[in-house]
Structure formats: structure tokens, C-alpha cells
Amino acid sequence: MGNSALANEAVKSVALTGNEAVATAMRQIHPDVVAAYPITPQTEIVQIFSTFVADGLVQTEFVPVESEHSAMSATVGASAAGARAMTATSANGLALMWEVLYIAAGLRLPIVMPVVNRALSAPINIHCDHSDTMGARDSGWIQLYSENAQEAYDNLIQAVRIAEHPEVNLPVMVMMDGFIISHGMENVFLLSDEEVRKFVGERKPHYTLLDAENPITVGPLDLQDFYFEHRRQQAEAMFNADKVVQEVADEFAKLSGRQYEFFEAYKLDDAEMAIVVIGSTAGTAKYVVNELRAKGVKAGLLKMRMFRPFPAARLREALADIPAVAVMDRADSLAACGGPLFGDLRAALYSASKRPLMNNYIYGLGGRDVTLDHIRTVYQDLEEMLRTGEVKREINYLGVRE
């Protein structure tokens, strides 16, 4: 927490669950339209938000739809009509949105959606892992992951500006870990309603369906002669997002005193071994890093914030000189070659002249608890990798019974 935030009279520290913090951010963003369907552990977000609507605290048009497919479809329609539109979901709800996720991105609609990470069925499970949003990593949405309720709150507010930036015009999903963050209570620093209102501003769409003076056609047939050009535009927007995400983070830092980067490098500068991780497990792992540092072990950690677009060049710069790196995936691609973060990170490091020894840990599936001891064993494996210069086992399943 920087001084500028403490000097700011509007800063309030409030005890909130992750869902409450995200619902509060949505109230302050004050979208024109929210269309949503309940699913554990996201339900509270839209439930609390619908209370704000019923109490007249926001003038948002709230559309209680009959499925997530409809939730995303209604959000797409509203966004194409020029509205600032939001929804929220988890797991199988996200899976049911699938085809419309690609439509939102392809139509270049700046929709913002909190996603509370939860395991996909079957077997049915309501607890945290990242298999839901990792599956959506190629849908054309920008993805920001959060370690705690504060980051979920801050990321959601920044997401509006990133999505609506004229050089981006892409939907953004903001993740937090189901139950661990969504239902865990922590102190969260809130901005004032006025500060958020000013920061997000008004959406200024270039074209809208409701502009009868200037009619447009949205979603026409786009065949061999133009579809590729539109996909190329989408790719360019993802390249542009890299710059915009940092600009928005810097502006947000001036307002809040909280500076965000593409990833957090924790005690990484002189590290001889590091864990790369996403989400709430970073907090547990930092505790172990501190423990090891106290013993003189040069341990470090890299916590991903932005997964799409994938900040490959920056990650290469941050990790190439570290001799041993363990990548922790809270999702298994079931590809028999490791998790999604592992695959992308290894690809990013391929062009480095010096590359770390790397291995992969699939962990915490279906909400399986990740303890300090689990993280300690990962650093022990890294120490062994350093000592022997060999990766004993590339793909490891951490915390599963044999």
C-alpha cells in the first residue's frame, strides 16, 4: 500500500468476501445492463448485485435469464446496442456460455465478466480449480487472475477500461478462486463511488445498434474473403492489449496506490529457484519463500496476473536466468504433456539462450487443499534439480493419493 492511497481520504478498509468485493465493484462501475444466471460459487455476486438494483442503488437493467447461454447472449446484445454490459459465472456456467464467448470476442464487444473459478464436472464438484477458465483461454477474451479479494476488486475496475480502450475492444474475464477467495473474508481497500465512476468514465461505443440515424449490420455472414482479415484484427487487439493493460494499471496506481504488473515477481531478482503460480496459492507459496529466505535459500516466486494475452517476452526476461523453475497448474489439460501454464511458459522460454530446468505440478483439483508442506516439497524438488542438474519427473501430481 503506497502513501498516496493512505493520504486519500476516500480509502476505506472494509471486511468483505471476494464475492462482496466484486459485487461492490460492479455497483461502483454501474453497468447499464447485467444479465446473469446463478451458479455456485458465483451466485452471491449477482444475488448481491440484484439487491443493489432492487434497493435503487444502481439504475442497471437487470435481466434474470434462464441459462448462462442466454446470459452471455443477452450481454452480447446489450453490448452491441452500446450498453456497458456485464455478467458473471463459474465452471459449468462458463462451459454453457462457450459458443457465445467466441461471439463476444469476435464481435469485439468490451464485456467484463467476473468468473469465480470452480472445477468442471464430472464428477460434480463445486470447489476451486482453474479448469473452467483455462479451457476458455483461446476464446479471445483477455484473462486477469487475482490472488485475493483486493486484487479481484482492483482487476474488475481496471478491466472496464482495458476492454473499452479503442485499440482493444475485447471482452475481459476477471478470475478469483472459488470459495477460497469468493467466500473468504479479508480486509479490502475500497475506492469511493465517485473515484470509480471517474476512473471508468462513460462507455463511448463507435457504433451502436440503437443509433437509428446511422444503421449498422452486426454479425453478417463473413466467408472466405473477409473472415481471416477480421481474425487478424482480433490478434492485433490482443497485441495492443499488452500496452493498454499496463497504461491502465499505472493510472489505477495513481488513484489507489496499488501498482499492478502483468505478473508479480516475488523475491525473484537473485533467485536460484522459483515457483510460477496463479491465484490464491501464491499467498501460501510466498510464506514458504519467506521461510526459505530466512534459511538463506535463494527461493523466489512469480505470480501470473495476465494469462491472455500471454506476456511471453516479459516472462522470458524474468525467468530465463533462474536455474530451476517449477510451474504449478491448478488445471490439467489432460494432454499427457502437462498443464496449460506449463505449456505456454515452456514455449515462451524456448527462444531464450539460457533456459531453466523446468517441471510441472498439477495441484489442487476440485478444491483439494494446498498446504505449506505441499509447497515445501516443490522447493525441495527444485533444490534436487539444482544439485543434480536433472529433472527427475517432468509432470507431477501434487497432493493426490496414490
Partner 1 sequence: MAVKEKPVAQEVQKPGWKSIPIGGLILRGGTAAEFHTGDWRTEKPIWDGEKCTNCYLCWVYCPDTSILLEDGKVVGVDYDHCKGCGICAAVCPPKVRAIEMVPDRD
The whole-angstrom separation of Cα 300 and Cα 266 is: 6
Under the criterion CB under 8 A, does residue 171 sit at the interface with partner 1?
no
42, 73, 169, 396: residue in contact with partner 1 (rule CB under 8 A): 169
Under the criterion CB under 8 A, does residue 142 sit at the interface with partner 1?
no
* Cα distances (Å, whole numbers) of residue 123 to 127, 182, 397: 12, 22, 18
Decide: 29 and 196 in contact? Cβ < 8 Å: yes
Q: Least distance (Å) from partner 1 to the CB of residue 157?
A: 25
The whole-angstrom separation of Cα 351 and Cα 365 is: 31
51, 138, 198, 232: residue in contact with partner 1 (rule CB under 8 A): 232
Under the criterion CB under 8 A, does residue 213 sit at the interface with partner 1?
no
55, 66, 202, 229: residue in contact with partner 1 (rule CB under 8 A): 229
The whole-angstrom separation of Cα 358 and Cα 274 is: 10
Residues forming beta bridges with residue 300, ordered by sequence position:
274
51, 99, 226, 243: residue in contact with partner 1 (rule CB under 8 A): 226
Under the criterion CB under 8 A, does residue 224 sit at the interface with partner 1?
no
The whole-angstrom separation of Cα 22 and Cα 155 is: 9
Of 16 and 241, the one with the shorter C-beta distance to partner 1 is 241
Closest by CA position to 314, among listed 356, 355, 261, 357:
261
Under the criterion CB under 8 A, does residue 106 sit at the interface with partner 1?
yes
Under the criterion CB under 8 A, does residue 99 sit at the interface with partner 1?
no
Of 220 and 389, the one with the shorter C-beta distance to partner 1 is 220
Under the criterion CB under 8 A, does residue 225 sit at the interface with partner 1?
yes
Under the criterion CB under 8 A, does residue 109 sit at the interface with partner 1?
yes
Under the criterion CB under 8 A, does residue 2 sit at the interface with partner 1?
no
Under the criterion CB under 8 A, does residue 239 sit at the interface with partner 1?
no
Under the criterion CB under 8 A, does residue 222 sit at the interface with partner 1?
yes
Q: What is the 3-state secondary structure (H, E, C) of 251-278?
A: HHHHHHCCCCCCEEEECCCCCCEEEEEE
Q: Least distance (Å) from partner 1 to the CB of residue 229?
A: 4
The whole-angstrom separation of Cα 95 and Cα 92 is: 5
The whole-angstrom separation of Cα 205 and Cα 394 is: 48
Contact range with partner 1 by CB under 8 A, out of 20-28, 151-159, 186-194, 230-238:
230-238
Contact range with partner 1 by CB under 8 A, out of 105-113, 142-150, 194-202, 324-332:
105-113
Q: Least distance (Å) from partner 1 to the CB of residue 226?
A: 7
Does residue 327 sit in helix, strand or coil? Answer: strand
7, 214, 295, 353: residue in contact with partner 1 (rule CB under 8 A): 214
Of 3 and 214, the one with the shorter C-beta distance to partner 1 is 214
Q: Exposed (0-12), middle (13-18) or buried (19+): which is 228, by Cβ within 10 Å? A: exposed
Decide: 316 and 351 in contact? Cβ < 8 Å: yes
- Site residues (CB under 8 A) for partner 1? 106-109, 169, 207, 214-222, 225-227, 229-230, 232-233, 236-237
